[in-house]
Chain A
């Protein structure tokens, strides 16, 4: 039983890390493909990311002379998520399927919200550095909530599947 739970957790962690890295690679691929003159592929990726980000060039990091697929805040959140995932096995048991206390998540979101709201309300101008730092913090903490959730979901799914097979 313990071995199964550990294996499930490893599968979820490896899949999540792979998907996150692929996601980040797509963000970088959009400008790279544009620079390499693969315009259609680049346009499809930019268009896909437009569903989740405003992609304003003046608020984006540049790669190969072109703006990345998402803005600097989003890119930082994704980068932070990968950092959080890489740190996760050193700080928590992979088999853990319960969330850390919720105040940590709320606390990590507060700087991002303040930075975003300050910019929108015109109270202060946020910078690339502020967007990057607050985004990385939130993304890294979010990884500690997403991973146990998906581990729990995967455990449930495997248990349901085993029950279904036993009934058949």
Chain B
């Protein structure tokens, strides 16, 4: 059966991607990429709700990975636009991080190298800045896909409650499956109520009853 991947992946990806770029809210990603896990799990949950049969773990991974790709695309587009148009504090943040790292060491040679690196980052041309951003974005995109896949897997583990049900019957190819609701006619047969108690002489499995058989009503 073909599953409808697109909408769950899109919804999960948009949720994860947008929440990962909104300032302050995106800080939750510092906690084990929380928004990516949520996005993957949302996609898996949507897939489960739209699928009449139990969703397999692999399908959860697949929809999670697709959601992660979409989230990475959204994040990359917005981040690249910010770098190109000089919006945001990215360069400043890099310098601050390096400054902090430089302060952590007592080695004068290391400090000097760090200062040189800080100078390099400050004097980056826009092209260099874009290349640096692309390298980082590739790493981040791989992380996004990985964590979102994880979210999809965990989503199936948590939300798929039909795992222990038997799979639907597999009909041979070409077998008609669209019978009218009351087909076959006069089935199940209506027997007159029997006054005789059913005893051990009854054939095993003859009347169905608790042992399964044709569903009643």
Do A47 and B136 touch across chains, with their CB atoms under 8 A apart?
yes
Question: In chain B, residues 130-147, which have Cβ atoms closer than 8 Å to a Cβ of chain A?
Answer: 135-136, 139-140, 143-144, 147
Do B94 and A148 touch across chains, with their CB atoms under 8 A apart?
no
Q: Which of B32, B94, B113 contacts A37, CB < 8 Å?
A: B113
Is residue B42 within 8 Å, beta carbon to beta carbon, of the partner chain?
Answer: no
Q: Taking CB as reference atom, which chain B residue is nearest A145?
A: B157
Question: In chain B, residues 105-137, which have Cβ atoms closer than 8 Å to a Cβ of chain A?
Answer: 109-110, 113-114, 117, 135-136
Interface range on chain B (Cβ under 8 Å from partner):
35 or more
Contact A52 to B57, CB < 8 A, known contacts A43-B97, A102-B157, A102-B158: no
Do A105 and B32 touch across chains, with their CB atoms under 8 A apart?
no
For the complex, give the distance between the alpha carbons of A153 and B58 in Å. Answer: 3
Do A145 and B154 touch across chains, with their CB atoms under 8 A apart?
yes
Per-residue CB proximity of A123-166 to B under 8 Å, as 1/0? 00000000000000000001001101111111111000000000
Query: Across the interface, which residues of A come within 8 angstroms of B147, CB to CB?
Result: 52
Q: Which of A40, A51, A116 contacts B117, CB < 8 Å?
A: A40
Do B32 and A48 touch across chains, with their CB atoms under 8 A apart?
no
Name A's B-contacting residues (CB within 8 A).
34, 37, 39-40, 43-44, 46-48, 51-54, 57, 66, 73-74, 77, 97-99, 102, 105-106, 116, 142, 145-146, 148-157
Give the 5 A-B residue pairs with the shortest CB-CB distance, closest first: A152-B58, A153-B58, A149-B153, A149-B57, A48-B139
Give me 28 A-to-B residue pairs in the complex whose CB atoms sit less than 8 angstroms apart, sorted by A's number. A37-B113, A39-B98, A39-B113, A43-B101, A43-B117, A44-B136, A47-B97, A51-B33, A51-B139, A51-B140, A51-B143, A52-B33, A52-B143, A53-B30, A54-B31, A77-B32, A99-B163, A102-B157, A105-B157, A106-B158, A116-B31, A145-B57, A149-B57, A149-B156, A150-B153, A152-B61, A153-B61, A155-B58
For the complex, give the distance between the alpha carbons of A45 and B109 in Å. Answer: 22
For the complex, give the distance between the alpha carbons of A51 and B93 in Å. Answer: 13
Q: How far is the CB of B17 from chain A (nearest CB, A)?
A: 13
Query: Across the interface, which residues of A come within 8 angstroms of B94, CB to CB?
Result: 43, 47
Do B58 and A44 touch across chains, with their CB atoms under 8 A apart?
no
Query: Across the interface, which residues of B come within 8 angstroms of A66, CB to CB?
Result: 101, 104
For the complex, give the distance between the alpha carbons of A106 and B158 in Å. Answer: 8
Do B153 and A48 touch across chains, with their CB atoms under 8 A apart?
no
Do B30 and A145 touch across chains, with their CB atoms under 8 A apart?
no
